[in-house]
A and B are shown apart, each in its own frame.
Chain A
Amino acid sequence: MTTAQLFAIAGAGIVAIGFYAQLARHNLIRKILGLNLMGSGVFLILVSLAGRGETPDSVPQAMVLTGLVVSVSATALALALVRRLHRESGRLDWVMPTPPPPELMSEDEESDDDSH
């Protein structure tokens, strides 16, 4: 196994950890952290795979640089959304939306779409 592969496999592990945090955690801040972890893992994979040749491949490096900025923007927007949610509802966690009781469903047909 080469060094590049070792770093890339570490990146795969980081992606998996971030993915688990996103799926299994209710707290939205943790979900955002998970998203960032996944991004960092992908960046690590890309950068290490760029280093396979004698001179590093500049295209994946430029891609990671672009990705970093996009990930910062996404994080900032996600944090703004969470802040707003916290102010409106006082909550920082995500809960499974419960389907409305049946008597409500028959009156309001539009809510059908949400229950799927």
Chain B
Amino acid sequence: MNEPAATNLDRSARFLAGIGAAFLGLGLVWAILALPQVEVGLGETVRRNLGVSGVSNPVTAVLLNFRGYDTMLEVGVLVLALIGSQALRGTGETLPEVDRDIVLDSVVRVLTPPLIIVAAYMLWIGGTEPGGAFQAGAILAAGAVILLLAGLRPPRLWHWMIERLAVIAGFLVFALAALACIPLTDHLLGYPQSSAKYWILAVEGVSALSIALILTLLFAGHPLGRGMERDQDEGDR
């Protein structure tokens, strides 16, 4: 879409915006240069406590254990964004029909299984190396988006109730794990030290699936589950 013709007001507004942006940039540069050159963060504290976290990758330890609260709410943010975007979708909007093409079909069929394996590997390796639930979820979602673009749709069994349950499963399991930790260790999300690895793995596994589904649905822009059409018609009346 073309920008509307610039008026005098526009030009002065842009000038002011330019000055504002320049000040913001210069202020940030000043702040960056004023920071001490040595590490003053919590990295050392994380490294010292890595032994009790149940994983050996510091980033995963921070995400799923030390700051698990942030990650739990982050999954909640994803669910909220999905609810918002689906509430805004137009009535009767569906994915455009795609001409099925034999080359595209076979490429997608070859691509999908390795993507699933890579996602599972990403999830598992998250304990020791860079990786984890979000990376795995993103890769799975990429696979699902490829399937959608190639015209492959979810199976008939994929009911909208299953879809909604799967969307909130990640947040639900995370929240239940957080609450279950209270009687065990007296802390919200304070996993018992001996079994922390398994708590993290369970939470990450379910979260990864939920994240993948949420990202796919955010891409699709409307629910994919069957059985919604009738409900939607009733709702529109």
CB under 8 Å from chain A, chain B span 1-59 = 1, 3-4, 13-14, 16-18, 20-22, 24-25, 28-29, 32-33, 35, 37-39, 41-43, 46-47, 58-59
Q: Across the interface, name the chain B residue whose C-beta is closest to A95.
A: B4
A residues near B28, Cβ cutoff 8 Å? 11-12, 15-16, 45
A20 and B4 within 8 A (CB): no
B71 CB within 8 Å of chain A: yes
A80 and B39 within 8 A (CB): no
User: Interface centre among B13, B16, B63, B67, by most A CB within 10 Å?
Assistant: B63
B81 and A59 within 8 A (CB): no
Quick one: which of B39, B42, B70, B81 contacts A77, CB cutoff 8 A? B81
| Interface range on chain A (Cβ under 8 Å from partner) | 35 or more
- Size of the B side of the interface (Cβ < 8 Å), in residues, is 51
A residues near B18, Cβ cutoff 8 Å? 20, 24
Mask: chain A, 58-91; 1 = CB below 8 Å from B; 0 = not: 1111110110111011101101110110010000
B32 and A12 within 8 A (CB): yes
Interface segment among B83-91, B94-102, B104-112, B186-194: the answer is: B83-91
B41 and A60 within 8 A (CB): yes
B161 CB within 8 Å of chain A: no
Cβ contacts A to B, 16 pairs, < 8 Å? A23-B20, A25-B3, A26-B4, A27-B3, A45-B28, A45-B32, A50-B41, A57-B42, A59-B42, A59-B67, A62-B63, A72-B215, A73-B218, A76-B85, A77-B81, A80-B85
